[in-house]
Amino acid sequence: MSLTTAEVAKVAVLARLRLSPDELGPFTSQLNAIVNYVAQLQELDTTGVEPLAHGVDVRNVFRDDVRGPSLEREQALANAPRRNQTGFLVPAVLD
């Protein structure tokens, strides 16, 4: 399996990363080295093995739906890169 620069460019957009044309080549070869390395997992026959998502026996943890205190608006907005009095500001979502 080998990733092309076009495929890496597509993955970059999916991952919301802007890559310059100069970066694309090195990232492609590094990602290919890693993908080829992890391909050794295919050697193992894992037919019928149940995937293990995490190591502890905890499933579906529920709590009562009780309303507690939440952050004050000012605290929530304190780290905003751009804001007004009441909310976060972002560039136009629709043209």
Partner 1 sequence: MSQVADTALTLLERLKTGETTAEEVASRLLARAETLRALNVFVHLDGDRVLEQARAIDARRKAGQPVGPLAGVPVAIKDLLCVEGEPTTCGSKMLAGFRPPYDATVISRLKAAGAVLFGKCNMDEFAMGSSTENSAYGPTLNPWDQERVPGGSSGGSAAAVAADLSPLSLGSDTGGSIRQPAAVCGVVGLKPTYGRVSRYGLIAFASSLDQIGPFAHDLRDTALLLGVISGKDPKDATSVDAPVPDYLATLDQPPARLRVGVVREFSGEGLDPEVGAAIEEAVRVYQRAGATIVDISLPHTRYGVPAYYLVAPAECSSNLARYDGTTYGHRATDFSPKYPGEENLPPLLRMMMASRSEGFGAEVKRRIMLGTFALSAGYADQYYNKALQVRRRIREDFDAAFEKVDVLIGPTSPTPAFKLGERTANPLAMYLSDIYTITANLAGIPGLSIPCGLTKAGLPIGLQLLAPAFAEQSLLQIARVFENATDWHTRRPSLS
Least CB distance to partner 1 at residue 89 (A) = 9
Q: Tokens for 82? A: 């751009």
Q: Residue 9 and residue 20: Cα distance in Å, rounded?
A: 10
Least CB distance to partner 1 at residue 37 (A) = 6
Residues that bind partner 1 (CB under 8 A): 3, 8, 11-21, 27, 30-31, 33-35, 37-42, 44, 46, 49-56, 58, 61, 63, 71, 75-76, 78-82, 88, 90-95
DSSP secondary structure, 31-44, as one string: HHHHHHHHGGGGGS
Least CB distance to partner 1 at residue 28 (A) = 10
DSSP secondary structure, 52-69, as one string: ---SS-------------
* Nearest residue (CB) to partner 1, 49 versus 65: 49
